[in-house]
Amino acid sequence: MIISIASGKGGTGKTTIATNMAFSLAQKDNCPACEQAGVQLLDCDVEEPNGYIFIKPKVELRETVFLDVPQIDEEKCTHCGECAKVCAYNAIFVADNKVILFPQLCHSCGGCSYFCPQNAISEVGHEIGEIAAGSAYGIEFAYGKLNIGEIVAPPLIKKLKERINEDKVVIIDAPPGTSCPVIEAVKGSDFCLLVTEPTPFGLNDLKLAVEMLKVLKVPFAVLINRWNEEYFEIDSYCNKENIPILIRIPLERKIAEVYSEGSLFSKELPEWQETFCKLFDSIVELSK
Amino acid sequence: MKIAISSTGNDLLSQVDPRFGRCQKFLIFDSETLGFEAVPNEAVNAAGGAGIKAAQLAVDNGAKVVITGSIGPNAFNVLSGAGVQVFAGATRNIQSAIDDYKAGKLQKVNQATNGPGARG
Amino acid sequence: MKELTVLSGKGGTGKTSLVGAFAVLAENKVMIDCDVDAADLHLILKPEVKETNDFYGLNEYLINRDICIECGKCEELCRFKAIDNFQIDVISCEGCGICFLACPVSAIETKGRICGQWFISKTKYGPLVHAKLGIAQENSGKLVAEVRKAAKKMAQKKGISLVITDGSPGIGCPVIASLSGTDLVLIVTEPTVSGVHDLERILDLCAHFKIKSLVCINKFDLNLKKTREIEELCKERKVEVAGKIDYDPIFTKALIKGMPVVEFSDGETSRRIKTLWENIYEKLNV
């Protein structure tokens, strides 16, 4: 069972929900079935991975992630320029006497080496980031971290998702937005929980996320975070679109403070654990 | 010698396109024959690395000098790597840019005139 | 011309609300919304769209089944696992075009794909250049670059001396595209562990590109210990804390009304935002 937690807009509390849900499900007394299956949490927000701040795992494994990028054998190269011509990302420049590569633009499609008439191109690893894995609170946790200055996040997310064990309860903390890294994180999920906040920003970005999930054909529902009784447009929209609102987490300074300290509010305020387990049950029900 | 000028149109009276990577066209001017040819810039809609692609186009057309408004680091680095001289700050039409170049009035670029490139 | 870019790393720190307030406070400027993934500035500035432009991304590819001989070459070569059963999945496809080039019978067709739109608009507070990226589309970095170019061109033409950019979240491609060539970055952060963490990442990024930055701590009274930690961090990095703003529900209230904070209220928070803006304006040296 793979559940991804996403939101059109950043800062709605995606990480808070993902971490607290993972924590609640992994506690033995709450849900023996989940505890037995095992809970995996993957922080796929590789540009700004924050999940580990709350889970505080003991990191047992670190792995540098490389992307295969071209390497030119100058002995064989005739500077014919074919590689630059086939590269859709313009990561190769060929002059009369040299080839200049831009590994940061490379998507590792392999076109240059495939089409090189001289067989002068091989591939070497270019470091784009790292994956760290460990465990805490009975959660098997892993996150990816993109190196500063790198721009291609999806390959790192793809690599991180190779750690998924579908027999477990897998929770994916997706990056914010609706562009390529989000798609990479969410695709293949059995269900997606969209976290939003009751403001016009929250609504606008929720609509974008809903459109995205319709394209991806992943079933979804909404969670309203920082709920206050001042803005009801999210309710009207969800009613109209027939989107279930599974739970509302109230705007409480206490929750914000626990968050600001880097702690899990379901741990500090244990009454919330049951809510998260119920949330999980409704998700299981809806994804059937 | 061939000079590639980033251009908004097809002739010497067209305005210089201030952008290098995403300029509309290149006017390839031959300083010996005084002939010229307009080449559409395939990089104008490139998803990324437009400067690199545009530089490739200029080099493939035999340019030894590039004249433009401003240029990013990737394009500048590959052009200088290929032995092409880059002049920036051209603003009016192509003819006056060529005249200014000949009169030594254009600034020769020693480093990129705008910020980081390499965007995806 | 000077350009201020407002970034935050993590979302929800109040970046767009502050940019909305600056739109009221700054004179003679162009506003840009570079948060093309989830563009929200228009909800505060209420633009009237004057000009719409299509934005093209990487090519789209399609297998013409009438020509296809089902040799499987394309599927074998595609590293993005986007081809299955002689069909190309547009979502997985990264537009490399190997299939198109390698097909022995030229059965693969290609066309440009419109993957977003960008707009030049009029608002009560001056011109706004903003964009909307299509769903499941990439290239937001390129769209950001295009939006910024259009805004700078307009500023030049109209003799406008200041451009204010609402930047993208994260540290990846769209952020780098919104940073390039900017004069000053304002980083809006909050006193939370995540806020501090992301602030460090953005400071690293600015240092990487050698761009001058200032920090604003929003909701500073939510956690005074973390606020002090941010101040220490900034001191260490020689970055000025240009302003501190209270954890004030007025942000949400103004948002629900669709108004810039400083127009909605003239209380303490609005005064603090004004002081912050004066400080930034001085540093911009317009």
**DSSP string for A17-37:** HHHHHHHHHHSTTT-HHHHHH
Who wins on pLDDT, C22 or B114? C22
d(CA C38, CA A208): 8
Of C58, C139, C181, the CB nearest to B114: C181
Just give the CATH number of B2-108: 3.30.420.130
Give percent of chain C with pLDDT exceeding 70.
98
d(CA B91, CA C45): 34
Task: Map out the domains of chain B as residue ranges.
Answer: 2-108
d(CA C220, CA C244): 6
- Residue C228 has a CB neighbour count (10 Å cut-off) of 12
Query: Does the structure show a pLDDT above 50 at B116?
Result: no
Average pLDDT value for residue range C236-249: 94
Query: Does the structure show a pLDDT above 50 at B119?
Result: no
Query: Does the structure show a pLDDT above 90 at C229?
Result: yes
- Is residue C137 within 8 A of residue C116, CB to CB? The reply is yes
Domains of chain A: 2-65+129-287 (3.40.50.300), 74-119 (3.30.70.20)
Which of B74, B79, B80, B86 to mutate against chain A (most A CBs within 10 Å)? Answer: B74
Q: What is the pLDDT of residue C138?
A: 65
Question: Taking CB atoms and an 8 Å limit, are A102 and B119 in contact across chains?
Answer: no
Q: Which phi and psi angles does B89 have, rounded to 5°?
A: 90, 5
Query: Does the structure show a pLDDT above 80 at A102?
Result: yes
Encode pLDDT of A218-236 as tens digits: 999 999 999 988 899 999 9
Mean pLDDT of chain C: 91
Q: What is the dihedral of CA A72, A77, A78, A83, to 10 degrees?
A: -40
Sheet holding B107-108, edge to edge: B36-40, B25-30, B2-7, B63-67, B85-88, B107-108
Of B22, B45, B119, the CB nearest to C173: B119
Nearest CA to C148 out of C123, C183, C113, C172 is that of C183
Question: Taking CB atoms and an 8 Å limit, are A93 and B47 in contact across chains?
Answer: no
Provide the residue count of chain B. Answer: 120
Task: Output b/e per residue, C155-187; b: 16+ Cβ within 10 A.
Answer: beeeebebbbbbbbbbbbbbbbbbbbbbbbbbb
Q: What is the pLDDT of residue C234?
A: 97
Q: Integer distance in angstroms from the first to the last C-alpha of chain C?
A: 7
Burial of A87 (0-12, 13-18, 19+ CB in 10 A): buried
- Is residue C140 within 8 A of residue C108, CB to CB? The reply is no
Going by CATH, does the domain composed of C60-112 fall within 3.40.50.20?
A: no
Q: What is the pLDDT of residue B112?
A: 64
Of A88, A93, A105, the CB nearest to B78: A93
Encode pLDDT of A70-94 as tens digits: 999 999 999 999 999 999 989 999 9
Q: What angle do CA A113, A117, A120 make, to 5 degrees?
A: 55
Query: Does the structure show a pLDDT above 60 at C241?
Result: yes
- Is residue B112 within 8 A of residue B73, CB to CB? The reply is yes
Mean pLDDT of chain A: 93
Nearest CA to A136 out of A235, A227, A256, A40 is that of A40
Encode pLDDT of A35-76 as tens digits: 788 999 999 999 889 999 999 999 999 999 999 999 999 999
Structure tokens belonging to residue C61: 């590819």
Question: Taking CB atoms and an 8 Å limit, are C173 and B114 in contact across chains?
Answer: no
Who wins on pLDDT, A252 or C64? C64
Q: What is the pLDDT of residue A253?
A: 86
Which of B45, B53, B60, B119 to mutate against chain A (most A CBs within 10 Å)? Answer: B53
| Sign of the dihedral through C-alpha C148, C153, C155, C156 | positive
Confidence of residue A32 (pLDDT cuts 50, 70, 90): confident
Which of A260, A261, A265 to mutate against chain C (most C CBs within 10 Å)? Answer: A260
Q: What is the CA radius of gyration of chain A?
A: 22
Give percent of chain A with pLDDT exceeding 90.
78
Give percent of chain A with pLDDT exceeding 70.
100
Task: Map out the domains of chain C as residue ranges.
Answer: 2-56+116-284, 60-112
- Is residue C107 within 8 A of residue C63, CB to CB? The reply is yes
Q: Which residue of A has its CA nearest to C97?
A: A88
Q: What is the pLDDT of residue B70?
A: 80
Encode pLDDT of C103-157 as tens digits: 999 999 998 778 889 999 999 999 999 998 877 676 567 788 889 888 988 998 8
Confidence of residue B114 (pLDDT cuts 50, 70, 90): low
Question: Taking CB atoms and an 8 Å limit, are C171 and A148 in contact across chains?
Answer: yes
Q: Which residue of C has its CA nearest to A83?
A: C98
Question: Taking CB atoms and an 8 Å limit, are C135 and A176 in contact across chains?
Answer: no
- C121 touching A (Cβ < 8 Å): no
Second-level CATH architecture of C2-56+116-284: 3-Layer(aba) Sandwich (3.40)
Query: Does the structure show a pLDDT above 50 at B117?
Result: no
- Is residue B18 within 8 A of residue B70, CB to CB? The reply is yes
d(CA A131, CA A55): 16
Query: Does the structure show a pLDDT above 80 at C28?
Result: yes
Q: Which residue of C has its CA nearest to A146?
A: C172
Which chains touch A (3+ CB pairs under 8 A)? B, C
d(CA C49, CA C118): 10
Average pLDDT value for residue range C243-270: 93
- Helix axis angle, A14-26 to A271-287, nearest 10°: 100
Question: Taking CB atoms and an 8 Å limit, are A93 and B119 in contact across chains?
Answer: no
Of A81, A88, A95, the CB nearest to B81: A95
Residues of chain B with C-beta less than 8 angstroms from the C-beta of A89: 47-49, 120
Nearest CA to A68 out of A183, A159, A179 is that of A159
Average pLDDT value for residue range A101-122: 94
Average pLDDT value for residue range C174-195: 88
Nearest CA to C215 out of A146, A88, C227 is that of C227
**Which chain B residues touch A if contact means CB-CB below 8 Å?**
43, 46-50, 52-53, 55-56, 59-60, 74, 77-78, 81-83, 118-120
| Sign of the dihedral through C-alpha C218, C222, C224, C230 | negative
Q: What is the pLDDT of residue C210?
A: 81
Q: How many CB pairs under 8 A join A and C?
A: 177
Structure tokens belonging to residue A162: 């190779």
| Residues of chain A numbered 206-225 and touching chain C (CB < 8 Å) | 208, 211-212, 215-216
Query: Does the structure show a pLDDT above 50 at A278?
Result: yes
Who wins on pLDDT, C85 or A150? C85
Reduce the DSSP state of residue C153 to 3 states and report it: helix
- B15 touching C (Cβ < 8 Å): no
- Is residue B46 within 8 A of residue B63, CB to CB? The reply is no
Average pLDDT value for residue range C53-82: 92
Average pLDDT value for residue range C70-93: 93
Q: What is the pLDDT of residue A115?
A: 97
Cα C146 to chain center, whole Å?
12
Task: Output b/e per residue, C99-133; b: 16+ Cβ within 10 A.
Answer: bbbbbeeebbeeeebebbbbbbbebebbbbbbbbb
Give the count of alpha carbons within 13 A of A136, CB side only. Answer: 18
Distance set, CA B72 to CA A93, A284, B23, B69, C177 (Å):
15, 51, 13, 11, 12
